[in-house]
Structure 1
Amino acid sequence: MDKQGFTTGIVHGDRQPGAEHGGVRQPIHTSVQYGFERVEDLIGVFQGTKKGGFNYARQGTPTTAALERKITSLEQGVGSICFGTGMAGICAVFLTLLRAGDHLVSSRYVFGNTNSVFGTLRTLGIEVTTVDATSADAVANAIKPNTRMVFVETIANPGTQIPDLEGIGALCRERGLAYVVDNTITSPALFVPKAVGASLVVNSLTKTIAGHGAALGGAVTDTGLFDWSTYPNIADDYRGSAPKEQGLLQVRKKGLRDMGGSLSSEQAHSIAMGAETLALRVARCSDNALALARFLEGHEAIGRVFYPGLESHPQYAIAQKLFKGASWLLSFELRRADRMIDFVNALKLPIKATGLGDTRTLIIPVAPTIFHEAGPEVRKSMGISDGMLRLSAGIEDAEDLIADFDQALKLAL
């Protein structure tokens, strides 16, 4: 059969390797241990000579493996590893592929918890430099002889800044650096980072891919573009594998076996089912976010609106060129920050909650919550004002959302 469309591939992918007993979905495997008729096969799984086997659920199960195949297909990669959360995946990448004395260059516009991890890396002797990654030149100027990796998010949370994804990709290829792209906000439904030369792609499966606020999970995908035989931090134990497998093998062994950041079979099954409607949900949420952004941009109570689908956005041209849509992430500032509490409490439809990528619209004030620990100096460097609100647009009817915001904004004047 010719190459299938995006959603067709997700919906029917489980059936391709053959589900047990003719099931149309892969089953949930809850077993922790996996036995073998021949001890030679058990030894082979431990030593990596027997492919596709399982020994202990901390390193994966048939259910998590099925989800990994699905994510790999979506991201057009050569392999994926699933984790208990997106943060477990990010930490696994940094802590298994970087060593004391190494240097990481990152966009300064990153998720608050990721920014917190940078502080932890510094205590371990890993140098971290954050720059305005909307300019590839800024990234280039930060590179040092001990730089090993560059990290960016496709659309920054919460300010929606978009890095020069293509320029940074070309720079990393030229300098031989691992290029790690967090694709959580866009997801493979809107963008495939392999197209800009990403080495590894991170997704918080909890958000866009699972999409219903009902399961935690994360994934790291290797695009196959990076030659890990040239990367100095691969342990000798993993050098015997093919060059394109070495990086992901080390992340799996250290991140799952040693650190225990495992995804349960039950959560993997829930995520796999949520992923079937990925393209449909993302299209609806993006349409709603754009409608709200246009409404808010014209309202007298609003100071600024941050949404890549608006022509006023600084990286609008990049979003139009690279992304199939501008996602559900929308942020905006009230002209009067002192009216924020009254305004948010007056909203009836958006749920006052943290989290992103849900089917329901979520809203949260940024400075006093998810970026409170970062402090005022970091918030200022990231363009986060006291009046900024972050919105994750859901799949409700756009007219209802706009009407709700219209009535609540009367309290923000």
Structure 2
Amino acid sequence: MKQTGFTTTQVHADRKCNSPQDGAVHTASTNSVLFEYKDAQSIVDVFQGKKAGHVYSRSSSGAVTALANQVNLLEKGVGAVCFATGMGALSSTFFSLFKSGDHLIVSQYLFGNTRSLMNTLADMGIQISFVDVTALQSIKEAYQPNTRAVFTETVANPVTQVADIQAIGRYCKERQILLLVDNTMTPPPVFNAQKAGASLIICSLTKYVGGHGNALGGAVIDTGQFDWRQFDNIKPAYQVDDVSQWGLTQIKKKGLRDMGATLAPEAAHKLAVGMETMGLRIPRSCENAKHLATFLDNHPKVDRVYYPGLADHPQHFIAREQMESGYGAILSVDLVNKIDPIAFLNQLELVICATHLGDNRTLALPVASTIFHESGEQERQKMGISDTMIRISVGIEDIDDIIADFAQALDAF
């Protein structure tokens, strides 16, 4: 019997992909830093990539490799590497693949931490062009002979601009350049980044994959869509027999061995267990978000709601074409001018004021004064972030309770 259902696949992924010992359904979380080899030639062969194995847990361990196999299955890739955090995955990828003199076309709507990373790359001689990724023409106009890649998030955080990834993917294939997609906000089953043409998928496992706010992690997945022989930055030492693994091999060697962005086995175990319920958690959060966005959109004390599932969202039709299951579970709102966002958040009773997203619990925070404070007012205006904006990550609670909490908070003003 072939098992094809999303949740069925995720629930059984660990035991099917990794064959845990002693009949366990989860791979053991082994905490050893070092690994013994009875035959010295074996450790030589592993070091030289002639055979699979673990030599030092900074580079690999059983639990982390098992998680990578599951993440790869989730995104239908040809391989994956896991890291300590989502930012670890991002920085390892960019520092491993690009060098001074390269040019990157990047979304102008990037999340604050990621935008800061782009500025760091610029300081090191990598040229960065920030563009409107909702319009393919802006990417075409930014293209240069030294352009190596386009990088975007699927849905921007927090204003929810939706990148036209299918069009961007076709263009990148035509130009033979990489398309790097941060799929954190819309992981499967919401969005299929491989189908849309992404070369590499980068994500924070901390968010929707883990789902429980109890472990940090990140991952890079190669979709198999890009021919690495077209990419001059792969060093000869990492041009292994399987061309599809060239990029991941260099990212793994640089990001884990050299930079040490290593995921701990205990965190890998928690994230792997969290993955099992993605097919239940994410659709529930997306449906809740749709109902909450509709309620807030019709409330007189809310000036504007930013959510791709609303018909008046600027990229609603792009989202409707690209998303396979819902529109994500992140939305942002601008309150009417007389309502102070801090006072409003203090009025909420069920919703938690916290900087996180993709959790089982509904979370909210004031955007301009927290996660985008360092960006400055001018940059925030370019990104569409108002001083009163509140970002909401919708959880899996009963929707009537979520709406009731927002209703009572709004009624207080």
Taking structure 1 as the reference length, the TM-score comes to 0.98
Deviation at residue 39 of structure 1 after TM alignment:
1.1
What residue in structure 2 maps to residue 372 of structure 1?
373
What residue in structure 2 maps to residue 28 of structure 1?
29
- 1:214-272 deviation per Cα after TM superposition (whole angstroms, max 9, x unaligned): 10000000001111111011111112432211000000000000000000000000000
Kept in 1: contact 2:286–2:329 (CA 8 A):
yes
Alignment partner of 1:239 is 2:239: yes
Distance in 2 separating the partners of 1:335 and 1:44: 65
Kept in 2: contact 1:339–1:411 (CA 8 A):
no
Number of residue pairs matched by the alignment: 411
Kept in 2: contact 1:337–1:387 (CA 8 A):
no
Structure 2 SS opposite 1:378: helix
Kept in 2: contact 1:330–1:391 (CA 8 A):
yes
Deviation at residue 407 of structure 1 after TM alignment:
1.1
Distance in 1 separating the partners of 2:125 and 2:403: 49
What residue in structure 2 maps to residue 178 of structure 1?
178
Structure 1 SS opposite 2:4: coil
Kept in 2: contact 1:363–1:391 (CA 8 A):
yes
Question: Structure 2 vs 1, CA of residues 224 and 291 (structure 1 numbering), >3 Å: closer, same or farther?
Answer: same
Kept in 2: contact 1:333–1:387 (CA 8 A):
yes
Deviation at residue 337 of structure 1 after TM alignment:
5.9
What residue in structure 2 maps to residue 12 of structure 1?
12
What residue in structure 1 maps to residue 362 of structure 2?
361
Distance in 2 separating the partners of 1:185 and 1:379: 20
What residue in structure 2 maps to residue 263 of structure 1?
263
Distance in 1 separating the partners of 2:240 and 2:339: 61
Structure 2 SS opposite 1:263: coil
Question: Structure 2 vs 1, CA of residues 406 and 240 (structure 1 numbering), >3 Å: closer, same or farther?
Answer: closer
Structure 2 SS opposite 1:32: coil
What residue in structure 2 maps to residue 112 of structure 1?
112
Distance in 2 separating the partners of 1:220 and 1:321: 25
What residue in structure 1 maps to residue 101 of structure 2?
101
Deviation at residue 10 of structure 1 after TM alignment:
1.0
Deviation at residue 2 of structure 1 after TM alignment:
2.0
Distance in 2 separating the partners of 1:410 and 1:346: 10
Deviation at residue 169 of structure 1 after TM alignment:
0.2
What is the letter of the counterpart of residue 11 of structure 1?
A: V
Q: For 1:51-70, what aligned pairs fall within 5 Å after superposition?
A: 51=52, 53-70=53-70
Greater Cα offset, 186-195 or 212-221? 186-195
Deviation at residue 375 of structure 1 after TM alignment:
0.7
Distance in 2 separating the partners of 1:241 and 1:231: 16
Distance in 1 separating the partners of 2:260 and 2:107: 28
Alignment partner of 1:387 is 2:381: no
| Identity value in percent | 47
Deviation at residue 210 of structure 1 after TM alignment:
0.2
What residue in structure 2 maps to residue 397 of structure 1?
398
What residue in structure 2 maps to residue 210 of structure 1?
210
Question: Structure 2 vs 1, CA of residues 23 and 3 (structure 1 numbering), >3 Å: closer, same or farther?
Answer: closer
What is the letter of the counterpart of residue 376 of structure 1?
A: E
Kept in 2: contact 1:337–1:386 (CA 8 A):
no
Distance in 1 separating the partners of 2:319 and 2:409: 30
Alignment partner of 1:329 is 2:330: yes
Distance in 2 separating the partners of 1:4 and 1:410: 47
Deviation at residue 142 of structure 1 after TM alignment:
0.5
What is the letter of the counterpart of residue 118 of structure 1?
A: M
Q: What is the Cα-based RMSD across aligned positions, in Å?
A: 1.0
What residue in structure 2 maps to residue 276 of structure 1?
276
- 1:276-332 deviation per Cα after TM superposition (whole angstroms, max 9, x unaligned): 001110011111111110000001111110111111111111222221111110101
Deviation at residue 37 of structure 1 after TM alignment:
1.9
What residue in structure 2 maps to residue 409 of structure 1?
410
Structure 1 SS opposite 2:54: coil
Distance in 2 separating the partners of 1:7 and 1:390: 29
- 1:188-224 deviation per Cα after TM superposition (whole angstroms, max 9, x unaligned): 2211201111100011000010001110000000001
Structure 1, gaps ≥5 residues long: none
Kept in 2: contact 1:342–1:411 (CA 8 A):
no
Distance in 2 separating the partners of 1:411 and 1:366: 21
What is the letter of the counterpart of residue 219 of structure 1?
A: A
Distance in 2 separating the partners of 1:188 and 1:254: 28
What is the letter of the counterpart of residue 379 of structure 2?
A: V
Alignment partner of 1:348 is 2:349: yes
Deviation at residue 339 of structure 1 after TM alignment:
2.0
Deviation at residue 30 of structure 1 after TM alignment:
0.8
Deviation at residue 410 of structure 1 after TM alignment:
2.3
Greater Cα offset, 30-39 or 217-226? 30-39
Structure 2, gaps ≥5 residues long: none
- Poorly superposed stretches of 4+, deviation over 6 Å: none
What is the letter of the counterpart of residue 173 of structure 1?
A: K
What residue in structure 2 maps to residue 48 of structure 1?
49
Greater Cα offset, 402-411 or 209-218? 402-411
Distance in 1 separating the partners of 2:229 and 2:321: 33
Distance in 1 separating the partners of 2:229 and 2:47: 22
Q: For 1:147-166, what aligned pairs fall within 5 Å after superposition?
A: 147-166=147-166
Deviation at residue 170 of structure 1 after TM alignment:
0.4
Deviation at residue 3 of structure 1 after TM alignment:
4.4
What is the letter of the counterpart of residue 389 of structure 1?
A: I
Deviation at residue 180 of structure 1 after TM alignment:
0.4
